[in-house]
Chains A and B, each alone.
Chain A
Amino acid sequence: MLRLSDTLRRNLLTQPETGMGYQRVDATLRDNKTERGLVFNAELLVLDGEAQATRRSYPYNDPYSILLKSAPQSGVEIRALRVLPREGVAFRGLETKALEKKAGSAKDAATEKTKADEVFKRFSAFPNDHRVNADGSLSPGSYATTEEDAKNVKTGSDAVARYALPNSDPASYRFTIKPNKDTEIQYGTVEAANGQPGGGVEVIFTTGTQAKTVTGPDKIPDK
């Protein structure tokens, strides 16, 4: 967690928000590596890779003003920040109007149909995920994410943060879902909750998926 310099702050203020009060960014670090994160109020940067304990402290345990005061200055640690385009958050390359529609959570979105060969991922802290049925189907009302969004998740802890999961145990079991064409689905963006920043794409299979559409899980690193 870093407090941004005035220069970085001014730069962010010229760029659009990703959601109310925050921007999803790629930060270029001192060693020229890039790390994704969230900037709150154009001033407080929380990188995706930060310890869960740090991430959980915002905004529930400590008032924002105290966090901001205690956060070290970004100084030379951050060379540059680039706000991800909204397409980078919702990913599907849809027209602007459709993207705006998906800015909220999936449960509030209109029901759509999946396209042929679309792939989704589901992260779970449990290898015996009870939403995955013995016949390889997914129960109605189950959540998942797009294959594209899942590429941002390298560890089980990433999944907890990105999908704002209430269980802090790493969701390191990754299931793959390949539903039939025209399966009912709702798309949305995960809102900050449970002390986690959210920001990932979420989908709900409102009527579940068909038999033999779920495989896995494969195990990704916890941290």
Chain B
Amino acid sequence: MRIKLDKRWSKLLRELPESGMGYQRVDVRLVDGRELKNVVVLNAEELEAPNDFALTEIKDVSLHKP
């Protein structure tokens, strides 16, 4: 499931280095306390989330550190 990120996060990601050509691996923290670890964001704006994942408001996005 692809989720288009809010412009705020997209802007932040554009300023951070890529993990590979055209994508970044990130950790996403949600306001309800859940976390998505090591997920892919394409073109700094399309988050690839698990299909059954109900996305609430994002609290923070940071680059995933392996």
Q: Can you spell out 25 A-B residue pairs with CB atoms less than 8 angstroms apart? A: A122-B21, A123-B21, A124-B22, A124-B43, A125-B42, A125-B43, A129-B22, A130-B14, A130-B43, A139-B14, A141-B16, A142-B18, A143-B20, A143-B21, A143-B22, A145-B21, A163-B21, A164-B20, A165-B22, A166-B42, A167-B23, A171-B21, A190-B20, A204-B17, A204-B18
A143 proximity list for chain B (CB < 8 A): 18, 20-22
CB distance from B44 to the nearest CB of A (A): 4
For residue A44, which residues in chain B have a CB less than 8 angstroms away from its CB? none
Q: Does B28 contact A (CB under 8 A)?
A: no
CB of A126 closer than 8 Å to a CB of B: yes
Chain B interface residue count, Cβ-Cβ cutoff 8 angstroms: 16
Binding site for A on B (CB under 8 A): 10, 14-18, 20-23, 40, 42-45, 48
Residues of A bordering B, CB below 8 Å:
122-126, 128-131, 139-145, 159, 163-167, 171, 190, 193, 202, 204, 206
Contact A167 B18 (CB under 8 A): no
Cβ contacts under 8 Å, B48 to chain A? 166-167
Residues of B within 8 A of A124 (CB): 21-22, 43
- Structural contact, B17 and A129, CB atoms closer than 8 A: no
Minimum-distance CB pairs A-B, first 5: A141-B17, A143-B21, A130-B44, A126-B43, A166-B40
Interface of A is mostly: loop
Q: Taking CB as reference atom, which chain A residue is nearest B40? A: A166
Instruction: Report the bound CA distance from A167 to B48 in whole Å.
Output: 9
A123 to B42 alpha-carbon distance, docked (Å) = 13
Known: A163-B21, A166-B48. A139 touches B43 (CB 8 A): no
B residues less than 8 Å from A206 (CB atoms):
17
Best-buried of B15, B20, B22, B23 by chain A (most CB within 10 Å): B22
A166 CA / B47 CA spacing, docked (Å): 12
Residue of A123, A167, A204 with highest tally of chain B CB at under 10 A = A167
